A and B are shown apart, each in its own frame.
Chain A
Amino acid sequence: MNDILQGLSQAAQLVITGDADLVEITALSLQVSLGATVIASVIGLPLGAWLAVNRFRARRFVIALLNAFMGLPPVVVGLIVYVLFSRSGPFGVLGLLFTPTAMVIAQVIIITPIIASVAHQAIRELWADYHDLLISLNATRGQRIRTLLWDGRRALMTASLAGFGRAIGEVGAIMIVGGNIDHATRVLTTAIALETGKGEFGMALALGFVLIAVAVLVNLGVHFLSRTERGSRW
């Protein structure tokens, strides 16, 4: 209990003094997680919509696979990405291991299934509503998907935010592929793991509170942005 209060006050102190290290790792956390969320959304949202709209043989199988991938342990993803991008691995020549790019790649793999799956659910409901109308208006497949993505953007925003939440709080995979290198790949979660390891619970908790605050702020920011969007009251 005391630790928590101490952590809170330490967090406040770090934020108020604008601690340079804190700013750096928080910025990298945001950069990596937002980058991964954008890329995963570009892949996952249309994939979810496509799965909702199209009927094909392997559809159930693909959806089952997607749901299974949602539960993929991040450590396993981290290991796979590590093995792929290690100098001794197939993509070693790219020299991406222990860079923010590798962290983004790992997070994209982790959160794309989540985003696609939530999007699939949301778009399936919308598609049930729109089906007859879009068929009647002779919309092409591409037009149907684009319409569903646009009109379902509120729900899709939620899908992306779910992905972001998972990304920013993730530690197992980025620890392995990023290496938690000071001033290079250290982010909030890996810093928390490090401080915990040192027995510095106060500092670890302080960083934890900053992490929670960042996640909440991003969510509020996105909702604020979408609320001010003209004429949207859905």
Chain B
Amino acid sequence: MVSSILPLKIEAVTVRRGGRQILGPIDWVLDGQGLTILMGPNGSGKTTFLRVMHGLERVGRGQIAWNAAAGDVRARQAFVFQTPIMMRRSVLDSIAYPLLLDGVARQKAMTEAEALAAQMGLGGLLNQPAQAISGGEKQKLALARALIRAPDVLFLDEPCANLDGRATKEIERILTEVRAGGTRIVMSTHDIGQARRLADDILFLHHGRLIETGPKAAFFEAPKTPEATAHLNGDLIP
């Protein structure tokens, strides 16, 4: 494999929107292996933070730096949006789309997309319009589309928010496999059980700041901040 696009160094990054600071300042380094879970209450800045890392948000002060020596870093990341963006194409064409952008031959792209779709349980929907399938199916499709390029880094924004237990389990199984395959994953979730099942380490955001970071065990067994403690207990945070 060519040199990794990691580490990603985030230094004193802030984001201002609508006249107020909605994120930061944040200092953090994304490196190594594994799956990081981003937690925090609604509006704490999870989506914004993920988008900042992926380069979708204009930042105010501070710096974000991928391992520039790795070349085109965006093409080696993938992002699953909180609200899946569905193209006006069939399910199969949607999954194959990133490969077509890379110049992969159409036939080959279709074959790969079909195999991946089958693996993700979308095999029966290949010719359906992507915009007409169910919410959960859209989530899976978005995940398949993100995985087809075998990214080095995968960002997911609440990928299981609309899914039933069975589908959630399926996605978790896939994510576990993807992580085992060496892809670095950062994902947000409100599902504490999911965080316990999947995470290697946890980031806890509150009012746009990373107030707690660390390995899963430490976070769940002995949270250091009252906000994290309250969040885990399901209490309202002041």
Contact = CB atoms under 8 A, between A and B. Distances in A.
Contacts of A234: 88, 129, 131
Most-contacted residue by chain B among A132, A137, A151, A233 (CB, 10 A): A137
Interface string B74-106: 110111010001011110000001100100000
Interface of B: prevailing SS:
mixed
A138 B127 contact: no
Interface in B132-184: 132
A135 B78 CA distance: 11
Interface string A147-186: 1000110100000000000000000000000000000000
B56 interface: yes
A233 B132 contact: yes
Interface in A219-234: 231-234
A132 B81 contact: yes
B127 A129 contact: no
B85 A137 contact: no
B54 interface: yes
A147 B72 CA distance: 21
Contacts of A154: 88
B183 to A, nearest CB: 16
Interface in A57-111: none
Interface on chain A toward B: helix, strand, loop, or mixed SS?
A: helix
Contact of B56 (A132, A143, A147, A232): A132
B79 A136 contact: yes
A20 interface: no
A80 to B, nearest CB: 39
A233 B129 contact: yes
Interface residues of B, number: 21
A133 interface: yes
A234 B129 CA distance: 8
Contacts of A231: 90, 127, 129
Interface residues of A, number: 19
A133 B85 contact: yes
A137 B79 CA distance: 8
B87 A136 contact: no
B79 A138 contact: no
B72 A137 contact: no
24 contacts: A132-B81, A132-B85, A133-B81, A133-B85, A133-B87, A136-B74, A136-B77, A136-B78, A136-B79, A136-B81, A137-B101, A138-B72, A138-B101, A143-B101, A151-B87, A151-B89, A152-B88, A231-B90, A231-B129, A232-B129, A233-B132, A234-B88, A234-B129, A234-B131
Given A136-B56, A147-B87, 10 more contacts: A132-B81, A132-B85, A133-B87, A136-B79, A137-B98, A138-B101, A151-B88, A231-B90, A231-B127, A231-B129
Interface of B: 54, 56, 72, 74-75, 77-79, 81, 85, 87-90, 97-98, 101, 127, 129, 131-132
Interface of A: 126, 129-130, 132-133, 135-139, 143, 147, 151-152, 154, 231-234
- Which A-B residue pairs are the 10 nearest by beta carbons? A133-B85, A138-B74, A151-B88, A138-B75, A136-B79, A234-B88, A233-B129, A231-B90, A231-B127, A137-B98
